[in-house]
């Protein structure tokens, strides 16, 4: 073979890489990774995607590069002439919708319009930004997931469910005037990516309707949730994602949604409702604050939200990869959160504090050690205050859509297992600076305790 000629394997690899289907295996040296860690003061959240070999910090394309070339500008341009609201209604069934720049903008609008001080919001454990919007609007969160959600070792298939008995109790106690809505997250990130069953959303719907309280979804990872319903709820085993999603949404009155986790898009979210008056109020907020989207961004969003319904395998693939990695870790004795989730692998870290003192940031220390050894990044899972008080802590290794292949998963498994086995040797961290505000911890600086 002459110089420059490529083997078949190389050709296939290059073709896939050119299509953006897999990241090249380019790994910085150990010395460089050490310097990078020193440069970010051992805060792995600050290590950029480009400096990472396998980046499993987040599955959000808002925070990371899209794996594939953007939707062709032509198709995005064409689809911008089709109403985005119509596309959204067709896919999710809500009568009215507004596109916004990201999930938390939708959360802000919802809370601004409906929440008044002293109100309470029953929920099944929410994402940090969702929680803050309710709190900033003066409400109190009442966390009532099923009790298994707090047991990381329990194998129940639907640990994302809301406890419907407790929900009735909360409504009896506070009265419907004090409850602007019931908020249910799908594929609940805080408890370990667990799905909400169709049976549970139906029950929650019945209760909400009886008391005339809106039931609102955080539909951020609704497609992973739908995929797990198909796997775990017998009646749905032959249904398409579209059918499952439409039925699921039909039991709710509206949703807020970040589009950058389940769809190939780095900007976008939605707020949707079946109530015209409410929609008008949402529109008024958007008029004041803006939707943060260009015409082009709306066109891309239009094309992006249709894509996984026509190509279900991209969602199935991520659910399968999550399970593949989860199984490998489980078999090697790493304490994975049970059962497997659809969008990430979570590790129960309470054992780490036997080796690294709790005030020396055991989870962060683990992540530093792992990155140094392998170039892999994960994150501390963002749990709720209630979970924290129960002594729960987790690491999250998010599996972004279509970004990594099985070779990457094997590599990740090997290094997480090794790091877990080396946990006795991991050095703790000392915090040396954090800005005195809520978000300060995300930018905090640390030192290794030698």
Residues forming the site for ligand F0G (CB under 6 A) = 58, 60, 62-63, 102-104, 127, 129-130, 185, 189, 218, 220, 258, 260, 269
d(C-alpha 207, C-alpha 279), whole Å: 23
Nearer to ligand F0G, 195 or 269 (CB): 269
**CA nearest 374: which of 341, 411, 400?**
411
Q: How far is the CB of 13 from ligand F0G (least distance, A)?
A: 29
| Site of tokens 């169709």 | 198
Tell the smallest beta-carbon distance from residue 220 to ligand F0G (Å).
4
Choice between 58 and 197, CB closer to ligand F0G:
58
How far is residue 177 from each of residues 114, 214, 215, 264, 268, measured CA to CA in Å? 11, 12, 14, 39, 32
**Nearer to ligand F0G among residue 190 and residue 325 (C-beta):** 190
**Which residue shows structure tokens 């489980």?**
330
CB of 191: closest distance to ligand F0G in angstroms? 11
Quick one: which of 260, 233, 255 has its CA closest to 244? 233
CB of 259 to ligand F0G, least distance (A): 7
| Whole-number Å distance between alpha carbons of 45 and 262 | 22
Chain-centre distance for alpha carbon 358: 26
From the CB of 107, what's the least distance to ligand F0G, in Å? Answer: 7
Q: How far is the CB of 130 from ligand F0G (least distance, A)?
A: 6
Express the helix, strand and coil content of the chain in percent, nearest 5 each: 50, 15, 40
**Residue 47 contacts residue 36 (beta carbons within 8 Å):** yes
Q: What is the DSSP letter of 236?
A: G
For ligand F0G, the closer CB: 171 or 222? 222
- Calculate the CA 408 to chain-centre distance: 20
Residue 185 or 363: which CB sits closer to ligand F0G? 185
CA distance 218 to 186: 6
Measured between alpha carbons, how far apart are the two ends of the chain, in Å?
Answer: 52
Q: In DSSP terms, which residues pair with 377 in a beta bridge?
A: 55
Please check whether residue 393 is in contact with residue 349, taking contact to mean a CB–CB distance below 8 angstroms: yes
Identity of the residue, 234 or 438, whose beta carbon is nearer to ligand F0G in the bound complex: 438
Written as six digits, the tokens of 336 are 């994975």
- Least distance to ligand F0G, CB of residue 129, Å: 5
Strand partners, 141: 121
Residue nearer to ligand F0G on the CB measure, 61 or 428: 61
- Distance of closest approach, residue 252 Cβ to ligand F0G, in angstroms: 15
Residue nearest to ligand F0G (CB): 103
Residue number, 104 or 171, with CB nearest to ligand F0G: 104
């Amino acid at each position: 073979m002459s110089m420059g000629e490529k083997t078949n394997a190389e050709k296939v690899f290059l073709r896939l890489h050119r299509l953006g289907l897999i990241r090249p295996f380019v790994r910085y040296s150990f010395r460089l990774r050490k310097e990078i860690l020193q440069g970010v003061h051992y805060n792995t959240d600050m290590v950029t995607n480009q400096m990472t070999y396998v980046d499993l910090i987040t599955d959000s394309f808002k925070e990371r590069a899209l794996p594939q070339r953007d939707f062709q500008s032509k198709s995005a341009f064409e689809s911008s002439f089709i109403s985005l609201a119509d596309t959204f209604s067709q896919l999710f069934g809500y009568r009215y919708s507004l596109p916004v720049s990201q999930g938390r903008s939708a959360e802000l609008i919802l809370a601004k319009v409906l929440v008044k001080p002293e109100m309470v919001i029953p929920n099944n454990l929410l994402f940090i930004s969702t929680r803050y919007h309710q709190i900033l609007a003066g409400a109190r969160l009442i966390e009532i997931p099923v009790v298994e959600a707090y047991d990381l070792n329990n194998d129940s298939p639907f640990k994302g469910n809301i406890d419907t008995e407790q929900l009735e109790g909360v409504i009896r106690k506070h009265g419907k005037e004090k409850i602007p809505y019931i908020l249910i997250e799908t594929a609940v990130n805080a408890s370990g990516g667990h799905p909400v069953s169709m049976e549970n959303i139906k029950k929650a719907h019945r209760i909400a309707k009886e008391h005339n309280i809106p039931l609102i979804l955080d539909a951020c990872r609704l497609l992973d949730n739908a995929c797990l319903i198909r796997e775990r709820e017998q009646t749905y085993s032959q249904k398409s994602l579209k059918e499952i999603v439409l039925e699921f949404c039909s039991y709710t009155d509206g949703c807020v949604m970040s589009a950058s986790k389940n769809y190939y898009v780095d900007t976008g979210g939605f707020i949707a409702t079946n109530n015209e008056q409410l929609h008008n109020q949402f529109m008024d907020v958007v008029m004041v604050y803006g939707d943060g989207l260009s015409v082009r961004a709306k066109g891309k969003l239009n094309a992006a939200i249709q894509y996984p319904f026509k190509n279900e395998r991209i969602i199935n693939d991520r659910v399968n990869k999550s399970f593949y990695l989860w199984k490998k870790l489980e078999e090697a004795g790493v304490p994975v959160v049970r059962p497997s989730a659809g969008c990430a692998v979570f590790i129960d870290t309470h054992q780490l504090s036997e080796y690294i003192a709790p005030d020396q940031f055991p989870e962060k220390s683990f992540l530093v050690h792992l990155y140094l050894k392998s170039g892999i990044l994960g994150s501390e899972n963002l749990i709720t205050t209630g979970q924290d008080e129960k002594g729960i802590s987790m690491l999250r290794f998010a599996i972004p859509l279509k970004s990594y292949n099985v070779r990457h998963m094997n590599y990740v498994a090997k290094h997480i297992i090794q790091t877990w086995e080396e946990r006795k040797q991991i050095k703790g961290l000392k915090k040396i600076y954090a800005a005195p505000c809520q978000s300060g911890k995300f930018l905090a600086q640390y030192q290794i305790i030698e």
